[in-house]
Structure 1
């Protein structure tokens, strides 16, 4: 398939995990890919190029307006224009309510929610400039469906992503710009390895991997997700087949949440 030939995609949080899988999927379908992260994205960029794709990397802090503007400037300088923007950068910490600091609260909300807004805001400006419409896709979470224990700040941040998605979708729909979100469930990434250790410590005497295995056992599909599972949905939402879908938040979790 070559659905995204001559299209440029910006992906934040694209250096590893779900973001890297999304970046590789778009490249394999012909897109120019700008991989952004708050760390060196070289490995992800080189993986795309090794697979025959076109990619550039950019280090940016999505909570910094200047960095966000510079990211989209770099994408336009490298590839001419921006057509699709995937707001995937995210962080999590896990703590009991009495131990959760205001600094942790603010950081998680700033990256996961404010960062999504700033990137959407800048992406919309770029899409309006070329006037061809486009796609915005935001990473929410299963915690945008149901808050988990010891993560009220993360749950709040991801519920906020859903609200941003719905509001912006209503504002830009007549311009041919769709805005959607997705809720990954338990996906095999570095973040979930951290979650297993942190939740396990707070919830009891769990051996490494034991807590996550218990949660995975409750998934109807019978397995944890992979980055590729998420990437397939994101590619669909970015495609012309999804041109009449906007303001929606789609679960990709093997049936963990059914709402």
Structure 2
């Protein structure tokens, strides 16, 4: 468990509210789930990895109301099962965080249709599936919120990841469309765009991009990128979680349809 500044600021704010976080077994997703739990929410962590059970158990042992569901968010039936579980547990849903995501690195000539579709299925189609299942539950809530993970690559595509960039641009468009459709039901929809975050995914990126972009030793390429960030550091999972706590709170009640960067100034718009 990590220190969560935002959950202290919003301590008790989310008491009685129910949140579902995909990709919640580790990394950013676990940090988000922890932050909402610390701020008083009941949280269902959803992940395809069995370690999500251990992550939920650690938070329960710390005194938080956290459960888990084992599900592949790109699988329609498993998504339905995850939402049935939160309905059984707590009778509804107030906050959906679509955080699950994957990336692969490939030059264009070697990028297969299967690999392209796999990334889009997890990063974009799964967001649609979860939003669709969440909609009737959120409409029954007095304060429904959807938060969808895009990326800095939802702002600007990068080399060797056309499929990932397409998937993250898609999340922003999907979020804008749903923000307009669901606003009459009182549901706010926003997306968030992390940059470099201290996670296993970025360790993979450093290795894969480094081997393709040049003769980089482990850690050298990511340090070069970090040196280009105005704030000169990568994000922690808690940095992302703090933004989402604000967006889901009453303080963010007039914000919808936005894509918000959380990247230390990598992209400014």
Asked if the contact 1:188–1:224 (Cα under 8 Å) also holds between the matched residues in 2, the reply is yes
Asked if the contact 1:230–1:252 (Cα under 8 Å) also holds between the matched residues in 2, the reply is yes
The residue number in structure 2 matching 1:65 is 76
The residue number in structure 2 matching 1:9 is 19
Alignment counterpart, residue 251 of structure 2, candidates 241, 248, 252: 241
The residue number in structure 2 matching 1:111 is 122
Shift of 1:35: 0.3
1:172 equivalent in alignment to 2:179: no
Alignment counterpart, residue 131 of structure 2, candidates 92, 97, 120: 120
The residue number in structure 2 matching 1:159 is 169
Shift of 1:131: 4.5
1:149 equivalent in alignment to 2:159: yes
Q: Deviations over 1:202-255 (max 9, x none)?
A: 011111010000000000011011000000001111111111100001000000
Alignment counterpart, residue 32 of structure 1, candidates 30, 39, 42: 42
Superposition CA RMSD, Å: 0.8
Q: Deviations over 1:179-222 (max 9, x none)?
A: 00000000010000000000000011111010000000000011
Please list every run of 5 or more consecutive structure 2 residues that lacks an aligned counterpart in the other structure.
1-10
Asked if the contact 2:194–2:262 (Cα under 8 Å) also holds between the matched residues in 1, the reply is yes
Moved over 6 A (4+): none
1:88 equivalent in alignment to 2:99: yes
Shift of 1:175: 1.1
Distance 1:160 1:43 in 2: 32
Asked if the contact 1:133–1:175 (Cα under 8 Å) also holds between the matched residues in 2, the reply is no
Report how many aligned residue pairs link the two structures.
Answer: 258
Asked if the contact 2:94–2:141 (Cα under 8 Å) also holds between the matched residues in 1, the reply is no
TM-score, normalised with respect to structure 1 = 0.98
TM-score, normalised with respect to structure 2 = 0.94
Q: Counterpart of 1:18 in 2: which secondary structure?
A: helix
